[in-house]
Amino acid sequence: MKRIFLTGIIFVFSLSLSFGQNNQNELPEEAKDFINTHFSNATIEETEKNDSWYHLDKNEMYEVKLSNGTKLDFNREGEVTEIDGDERIPDAALPSPIVAYVEANFSGAHITGWELDNDEQEVELSDGTELEFSLEGQFLKED
């Protein structure tokens, strides 16, 4: 019984070592280019590749944490699927119709979170407002 327990602890510990490793070389070039273009003032602190059988969300293949606290998710092709942080997300990193809508309707607020789902895009503003948009960037609703 002690051997089974000890084996379980070793297994869990070994899994935890595989997370949070800085495997920047595994990132697709498109993801690296996106980071260098839009977040050149930050460095990559952690990179995690989710290629295990138990990872069910295929849109989040790579998770990246930057030195400024921003977290990015990329799909297998290296396309960004989520940006989350406390700082303002650069406008050029976001779909232009969404940026234009926020500028026109929420003066003083800026986008701190963006996520692309299968059928919509969601943003979070600095004032806590959450908005939903179609894949084409048309405003759907405010949460």
Q: Is residue 129 part of a domain?
A: yes
Give whole-number Cα distances, 122 to 49, 65, 125, in Å: 23, 20, 10
* pLDDT at site 14: 43
Q: Which residues face 46 on adjacent strands?
A: 65
6-58 pLDDT, tens digit per residue, is: 444 444 444 443 444 556 678 999 999 999 999 999 999 999 998 655 545 55
Where in the sequence is the domain holding 138, given as residue range(s)? Answer: 23-142
Tell me the CB-side half-sphere exposure of residue 17, using CA atoms within 13 A: 6
Say if pTM beats, i.e. exceeds, 0.95: no
Where residue 63 sits, what CATH number does that domain have? 3.40.1420.30
Largest separation between any pair of C-alpha atoms in the chain: 65
* pLDDT at site 24: 67
Q: Is residue 115 part of a domain?
A: yes
Among 57-61, 86-90, 124-128, where is mean pLDDT lowest?
57-61
User: Is a pLDDT exceeding 70 seen at residue 141?
Assistant: yes
Q: Is residue 66 part of a domain?
A: yes
Q: Is residue 6 part of a domain?
A: no
The band of 79, judged by pLDDT with boundaries at 50, 70 and 90, is: very high
> Nearest Cα to 133, choosing from 96, 107, 108, 89?
96
Q: For the residues 63-78, what does the mean pLDDT come to?
A: 95
Q: Is residue 11 part of a domain?
A: no
Q: How many domains does the chain have?
A: 1
113-134 pLDDT, tens digit per residue, is: 999 998 999 999 999 999 999 9
